[in-house]
Amino acid sequence: MDGVDHLAFERNKAQFDVEEMKIVWAGSREDFELSDRISRLVASDPVFRKDDRTVLDRKELFKNTLRKAAHAWKRVIELRLSEQEAYKLRSFVDQPAFTDLHWGMFVPAIKGSGTDEQQQKWLPLAYRMQIIGCYAQTELGHGSNVQGLETTATFDPKTDEFVIHSPTLTSSKWWPGGLGKVSTHAVVYARLIIDGQDYGVHGFIVQLRSLDNHLPLPGITVGDIGMKFGNAAYNTMDNGVLTFDHVRIPRSQMLMRVSQVTREGKYVHSNVPKQLVYGTMVNVRQKIVADASVALSRAVCIATRYSAVRRQFGSHNGGLETQVIDYKTQQSRLFPLLASAYAFRFVGEWLLWLYTDVTERLKANDFSTLPEAHACTAGLKSLTTTATADGIEECRKLCGGHGYLCSSGLPELFAVYVPACTYEGDNIVLLLQVSRHLMKTVSQLGTGNKPVGTTAYMARMEQLMQYHSDVKKAEDWLKPNVVLEAFEARAARMCVACAQNLSKFSNPEEGFQELAADLVEAAVAHCQLIVVSKFIEKLQQDIPGKGVKEILEVLCSVYALFLLHKHLGDFISTGCIDPKQGSLASEQLRNLYSQVRPNAVALVDAYNYTDHYLGSILGRYDGNVYPKLYEEAWKDPLNDSVVPDGFKEYVQPMLKQQLRNARL
């Protein structure tokens, strides 16, 4: 049986309506049809081919990126695509480019922090791409600590200008995508200095390059920071370095929606609440969580299909060997990742609702849910990106030696994705922010400040501190309320334990430093509870399609019980469950893998990814892996000649014993 038959046979095993699951994964029928149409449009366009990326040198690779970005923009205009359609098109092109930062950071920064007048001036230019922008915040010496940025913007009342300056080497802007070679403008974050007084970090729109010849303007030194991790991957992006030597800009180019500097040099706050800026942050992190589900699902799709195609050992009397996917060790590593992809998808959907809710509340000057929403999105960004980066690497290992080939798609997918653990907030730093919010919530219990949103379970703290699971048999772990209570009790008790230990320190900050590792673990427990609870909430909705809800219930249980198994020490040490109940959970988890097995290939088919988007020979839809791997090998430039360059110069003398002064 060749690869094609393997996967056809696997698809016939499915116990649910795959077409309906595609709609569940997409979020709605409209979203499914949009993604399906745009992904096929990209896949059918030869300009967007991806199979040659890993063999291009840096200059060719970057030129290739420019060509694709320009062609994508041309197609957007020709087809009159909407903003959402254009976003989808850039996503399916699947190559990091300067346009990601232009649309994803530069435009939102102006929309979020610019006045109406500033938006009217700058956004039409950005929307037509008559200017190309980036987001210049991170510096050589400071990333996570934004308040430590060193670039200065000093107001000169004589000329009504700001003087942007890089006073030290470490104040050089470092990392902004699109900055190195393409961007004409940047939103630059700098310390506002007026009459010697430091007013903290603010945003400024600064032109970097001439719109006539693209050369850097006077006082600006700008370039690319060099090669990054992986073949191709983020090396398609011109991450840049930027320094300013007393560069002058008009006062009107400070982003002034929240605070302004008057002509007289007076610093004033507008009547727009500063909390509005956090709404943009919630939006950005929601997109990162949604992207995590996409990246993880791509890796899982490749590993699942290849595990069904690959056969090793177990042959009897000359019969077929065993499919790798049938080994329990493969299932116990792969199926939790399959469940995680769905879990992250659904929590991403919920975060989109949360962003809409927070935005509406902010407009009505209701800031009550903002701290919780900020902490929640920070924690989920950290949790999902860490799990996804680790999950992609696990999928590579699940594919054995062939997973290490660039043609598997997994090395490049990992290299492209792993920076998500650092950008928009280092994952450990974000968890520490979450833990501060949790400690504050615990400290306010009983004061009348009722916990809201994802911390609402803490209002039942007394009950949760007395909780002990009443699980008697393995099947009890399939009950959503049983799982949820265990996760709530674990998170609550870990938070209380941290709060009690913190109270022993006379200096709270010293306590936070000393207990940082424990606080991170408590934050992880809280965030895992959020994901589990949102998966359970999703299952309470009306989900159409034969067997769709049933298999999602299985995946929900797999996700929750895998976490319980992985963090068994937490659940037992906090007294939420006993070792026997932990064993029953592990037993039930093994049973669930058997229920996932016949549906595995169909579950990854539901992602509806084209072969172009997956970019993997191992993950091909038709399963025709081995002939295509063999065919791909001969395309490598090293095989252009039978005898390699350098052979006669270096190797032949060795073979002919012509090396002089050899010492053996």
Q: Give residue-wise pLDDT tens across range 100-115.
A: 999 999 999 999 899 9
Residue 219 lies in a domain: yes
pLDDT grade for 318, boundaries at 50, 70 and 90: confident
Average pLDDT over residues 506-519: 97
Residue 535 lies in a domain: no
Classify residue 94 as left (phi > 0), alpha (psi -120 to 50) or beta.
left
Q: How far apart are CA 43 and CA 612, in angstroms?
A: 5
- 489, exposed or middle or buried, with CB in 10 Å at 0-12, 13-18, 19+? buried
What pLDDT was estimated at residue 498? Answer: 98
- Look at the chain and report how many structural domains it folds into: 1
The DSSP element (H or E) to which 120 belongs, if any, is: helix 116-127
List all residues 6 or more positions away from 249 whose beta carbon is below 8 Å from its beta carbon.
Answer: 161, 162, 164, 204, 205, 206, 207
% of residues, the chain, pLDDT over 70 = 98
- Long-range own/partner contacts, residues 153-157 (CB < 8 A, 24 or more apart): 153/188, 153/190, 153/191, 153/192, 153/193, 153/202, 153/204, 153/254, 154/193, 154/194, 155/192, 155/193, 155/194, 155/195, 155/251, 155/261, 155/265, 156/248, 157/264, 157/265
What pLDDT was estimated at residue 279? Answer: 75
Residue 326 lies in a domain: no
Residue 260 lies in a domain: yes
Q: Give residue-wise pLDDT tens across range 562-598.
A: 999 999 999 999 999 999 999 999 999 999 999 999 9
- The parent domain of residue 216 ranges over 102-272
Q: Both tokens of residue 16? A: 């649910």
Q: How far apart are CA 316 and CA 335, in angstroms?
A: 27
177 has binding-site annotation: yes
Residue 492 lies in a domain: no
What pLDDT was estimated at residue 664? Answer: 45
* Maximum Cα–Cα distance across the chain: 93
Q: Give residue-wise pLDDT tens across range 384-442.
A: 999 999 999 999 999 999 999 999 999 999 999 999 999 989 999 999 999 999 999 99
Q: Both tokens of residue 507? A: 């200096």
Active-site annotation holder among 424, 521, 550, 632:
424
Q: What does pLDDT average to over the chain?
A: 94
Q: Give residue-wise pLDDT tens across range 230-277.
A: 988 999 999 999 999 999 999 999 999 999 999 999 999 988 777 777
424 an active-site residue? Answer: yes
CA 139, 140, 142, 144 torsion-angle sign: positive
Q: How far apart are CA 645 and CA 5, in angstroms?
A: 42
Residue 163 dihedral angles phi and psi, to the nearest 5° = -105, 110
What pLDDT was estimated at residue 372? Answer: 85
C-alpha distances in Å from residue 639, one per residue of 51, 409, 644, 645 = 16, 21, 8, 11
Q: How far apart are CA 443 and CA 438, in angstroms?
A: 9
Q: Give residue-wise pLDDT tens across range 486-507.
A: 999 999 999 999 999 999 999 9
Q: Decide: 78 and 89 in contact? Cβ < 8 Å.
A: no
Residue 224 lies in a domain: yes
pLDDT grade for 317, boundaries at 50, 70 and 90: confident
pLDDT at 5 over 70: no
pLDDT grade for 660, boundaries at 50, 70 and 90: low
Residue 113 lies in a domain: yes
What pLDDT was estimated at residue 114? Answer: 95
Q: How far apart are CA 182 and CA 99, in angstroms?
A: 10
What pLDDT was estimated at residue 1? Answer: 45
115 has binding-site annotation: no
- 380, exposed or middle or buried, with CB in 10 Å at 0-12, 13-18, 19+? buried
pLDDT grade for 144, boundaries at 50, 70 and 90: confident
Q: Which pTM was predicted? A: 0.95
Q: How far apart are CA 303 and CA 414, in angstroms?
A: 13
pLDDT grade for 315, boundaries at 50, 70 and 90: confident
CATH of the domain at 237: 2.40.110.10
What pLDDT was estimated at residue 163? Answer: 98
Q: How far apart are CA 557 and CA 551, in angstroms?
A: 10
Q: Give residue-wise pLDDT tens across range 448-477.
A: 888 989 999 999 999 999 999 999 999 999
Q: Decide: 340 and 391 in contact? Cβ < 8 Å.
A: yes
Could you say which DSSP state residue 299 is in? Answer: H
List all residues 6 or more positions away from 607 whose beta carbon is below 8 Å from its beta carbon.
Answer: 22, 25, 297, 298, 301, 341
What pLDDT was estimated at residue 663? Answer: 52
Q: Give residue-wise pLDDT tens across range 82-103.
A: 999 999 999 999 999 999 999 9
List all residues 6 or more positions away from 227 whose beta carbon is below 8 Å from its beta carbon.
Answer: 58, 235
618 CB neighbour count, 10 Å cutoff: 28
Q: How far apart are CA 377 and CA 314, in angstroms?
A: 47
Parallel, antiparallel, or unpaired for β 240-244 and 220-224?
antiparallel
pLDDT at 2 over 60: no
The least confident of 196-205, 269-278, 341-350, 616-625 is 269-278
Closest Cα partner for 198 from 162, 164, 167, 154? 154
What is the DSSP code string of 218-283?
Answer: TTEEEEE----STTTGGGGS--EEEEESSEEEEGGGB--SSEEE-TT--EEE-SS-TTHHHHHHHH
Residue 26 lies in a domain: no
pLDDT at 30 over 90: yes
What pLDDT was estimated at residue 416? Answer: 96
pLDDT at 3 over 50: no
